[in-house]
Amino acid sequence: MDFYDLDLSNPVLDALDDMNFVNTTPIQEQAIPPILEGRDLLGVAQTGTGKTAAFLLPVLSELSYGDYPSDAINCVIMSPTRELAQQIDQALQGFSYHLPYISSVAVYGGNDGIRYEQEKRSMQQGADIIIATPGRLISHLSLGNIDLSRVSFFILDEADRMLDMGFAEDIMQIAKQLPEKHQTIMFSATMPEKIRQMAKKLLNDPVEIRLAVSRPADKIHQMAYICYESQKIAIVKELFAQQKPERVIVFTGSKVKAKDLAISLSKAGFNCKAMHSDLTQQERDEVMYLFRSQQTDILVATDIVARGIDIDDITLVVNYDVPHDAEDYVHRIGRTARAGAGGSAITLVSEKDQLEFLKIERFLEREVEKLQLPSSVGEGPEYDKTLLSKKNNGRRNRHNNRQGKKNQSNKPQAKKSQSKKNLDKAQTQPSETQKKAKKKQNKQVNKC
């Protein structure tokens, strides 16, 4: 669909022309019309499908008509990370190029006091659009720096990631500050149960859009090492020793591992930096600048970089830890083979992660090529392809056992035989001796 087929305002369409944006992506085609109609929306689509434009374009279009207060905050966009908040802000600047009267400010932690005061001043003056991380916005709310009582649009981007990072209570606290009448738009890359529960609390009769998670690009050469956890560092060092690493991202499952691995690789002589949530904003900006400008060869990162960061020339992605689900796997390796280029992805699969990797292979509908371990690291464990079927069989057996017990408890008991009935009756009926003793006792009581 052409953007001109949508009911967007002329200034927004002019900006799209300047940026050579012609055709919509599927999420944009399906999401923009209901947002323009004022409907709440729940959209599920993976990173890289154009979700940012899907919510920015209709909101800017509505604000461009001037029907909203100029001295109030009209839109709040929540982002899980500073990097994604910055990226949304950059996209906003482009889309609003012909709307100079619409103001915005990005609000996130990790910066100095001067930046904090700038955020405070912009919000108090009534910036039209606030792009914020939950923790920073809560900080401003607690100090009375921001008034959300006239917000018209409340947008949650990468909602699943925000919940994974523990921001559920912050989001609900922010939502309580909004006016009763407002439009809520929630986008998520995945749809776990906790997202459904939050959607029920925040959304009113929403339009639901769910795009299937696409498979990784065909040009990504996917490979895996089956290894022990203790062999991982040696494998990575051997891998980089055989071929000089250039434009490589290594994903770890925790910030502690990211720090330790970056230190280990640096000591081994590799040009490496770590990217994780413990860094200040200035440190993050510096790390990303060095990597983008190719002054750093290897970026060791948590999933903070898996979504929403545009770096087009990554040659290799290494999953030091197997991601929790197939969708995260797609997000990670999708950092390579972008813009039509080729790329490679290598996953280190330890014994405890074999089941998760089997699930990923089932999602991919293919078996990922298994590489032979370098001789220097020794032999690894066997790859047990039956783990998935064993788990399913175990579930099935437990289900059958529960059903059997349930059926047994509901089964009507057989009727007692006549002899059994007589025996029970005899046991419950008093004997003649007992009857005489009872009469004698009653007579004595009456005499008294």
Q: In the prediction, which pLDDT does 165 show?
A: 82
One DSSP character per residue, 350-368 reads -GGGHHHHHHHHHHHTSPP
Residue 432 pLDDT exceeds 70: no
Residue 10, amino acid = N
Q: In the prediction, which pLDDT does 1 show?
A: 87
Q: How far apart, in whole angstroms, are the C-alpha atoms of residue 176 and residue 173?
A: 5
Residues in a beta bridge with 273: 299
Q: In the prediction, which pLDDT does 124 show?
A: 84
Q: Which residues have CB under 8 Å from 252's CB, separation 6+?
A: 258, 261, 300, 301, 302, 320, 321
CB 279 within 8 A of CB 110: yes
CB 298 within 8 A of CB 310: no
275-292 pLDDT, tens digit per residue, is 887 887 788 889 988 998
Q: In the prediction, which pLDDT does 420 show?
A: 47
- Any idea which residue has 């996917």 for tokens? 222
Residues in a beta bridge with 220: 343
Percent of the chain residues past pLDDT 70, beyond the cut = 83
Between 80-89, 285-294, 340-349, 435-444, the lowest mean confidence (pLDDT) is in: 435-444
Q: In the prediction, which pLDDT does 404 show?
A: 59
Model confidence at 31, pLDDT cuts 50, 70, 90, reads very high
Model confidence at 408, pLDDT cuts 50, 70, 90, reads low
CB 298 within 8 A of CB 237: no
Residue 310 pLDDT exceeds 80: no
One DSSP character per residue, 50-76 reads SHHHHHHHHHHHHHTTT-S-TTS--EE
Model confidence at 324, pLDDT cuts 50, 70, 90, reads confident
Residue 141, amino acid = L
Mean pLDDT calculated for residue range 255-265:
94
Residue 366 pLDDT exceeds 80: yes
Mean pLDDT calculated for residue range 2-14:
94
Model confidence at 416, pLDDT cuts 50, 70, 90, reads very low
57, burial (CB in 10 Å: exposed 0-12, middle 13-18, buried 19+) = buried
Model confidence at 160, pLDDT cuts 50, 70, 90, reads confident
Closest residue by Cα to residue 224 from 299, 329, 315: 329
Q: How far apart, in whole angstroms, are the C-alpha atoms of residue 252 and residue 318?
A: 9
Q: In the prediction, which pLDDT does 411 show?
A: 55
Model confidence at 308, pLDDT cuts 50, 70, 90, reads low
Q: How far apart, in whole angstroms, are the C-alpha atoms of residue 17 and residue 163?
A: 36
Q: What is the dihedral of CA 396, 354, 217, 95, to 10 degrees?
A: 90
Q: How far apart, in whole angstroms, are the C-alpha atoms of residue 31 and residue 209?
A: 7
Strands 104-107 and 129-132: parallel
Token representation of residue 334? 């999708």
Q: Which residues have CB under 8 Å from 425's CB, separation 6+?
A: none
Mean pLDDT calculated for residue range 73-85:
92
Task: State phi, psi for 154 to the nearest 5 degrees.
Answer: -120, 115
What is the Cα 74 distance to its own chain's centre?
26
Residue 293 pLDDT exceeds 80: yes
If one compares 17 and 393, the residue with the highest pLDDT of the two is 17
Phi-psi region of 15 (alpha: psi -120 to 50; beta: other; left: phi over 0): alpha
Q: How far apart, in whole angstroms, are the C-alpha atoms of residue 15 and residue 223?
A: 42
Question: Which helix (H) or strand (E) is 95 found in, with range?
Answer: helix 82-95
Model confidence at 417, pLDDT cuts 50, 70, 90, reads very low
Q: In the prediction, which pLDDT does 223 show?
A: 97
Q: In the prediction, which pLDDT does 283 show?
A: 85
CB 62 within 8 A of CB 36: yes
**Tally of CA atoms within 13 A in the half-sphere of 27 that contains its CB:** 26
Same fold, 3-210 and 220-377: yes
Q: How far apart, in whole angstroms, are the C-alpha atoms of residue 222 and residue 294?
A: 24
DSSP label at 100? T
208-246 pLDDT, tens digit per residue, is 998 876 678 788 999 999 999 999 999 999 999 998 999
Task: State phi, psi for 56 to the nearest 5 degrees.
Answer: -70, -45
103-121 pLDDT, tens digit per residue, is 999 998 766 677 888 888 8
Q: 220-377 maps to which CATH number?
A: 3.40.50.300
| pTM exceeds 0.85 for this model | no
Token representation of residue 219? 């040009």
Q: 3-210 maps to which CATH number?
A: 3.40.50.300
- Starting at the edge strand that comes first in sequence, how are the strands of the sheet with 272-275 ordered? 272-275, 298-301, 248-251, 316-319, 343-349, 220-226, 369-371
Q: In the prediction, which pLDDT does 239 show?
A: 94
Residue 328 pLDDT exceeds 60: yes
Percent of the chain residues past pLDDT 90, beyond the cut = 55
Q: In the prediction, which pLDDT does 443 show?
A: 47
Alpha helix positions (H), 245-369? 255-267, 281-292, 326-333, 354-364
35-67 pLDDT, tens digit per residue, is 999 999 999 887 667 899 999 999 999 999 988
Q: How far apart, in whole angstroms, are the C-alpha atoms of residue 148 and residue 126?
A: 10
Mean pLDDT calculated for residue range 366-375:
94
If one compares 389 and 266, the residue with the highest pLDDT of the two is 266
Domains in the chain: boundaries: 3-210, 220-377
Q: In the prediction, which pLDDT does 232 show?
A: 97
Q: In the prediction, which pLDDT does 421 show?
A: 47
CB 150 within 8 A of CB 128: no
Question: Which helix (H) or strand (E) is 183 found in, with range?
Answer: strand 183-188
Mean pLDDT calculated for residue range 353-358:
94
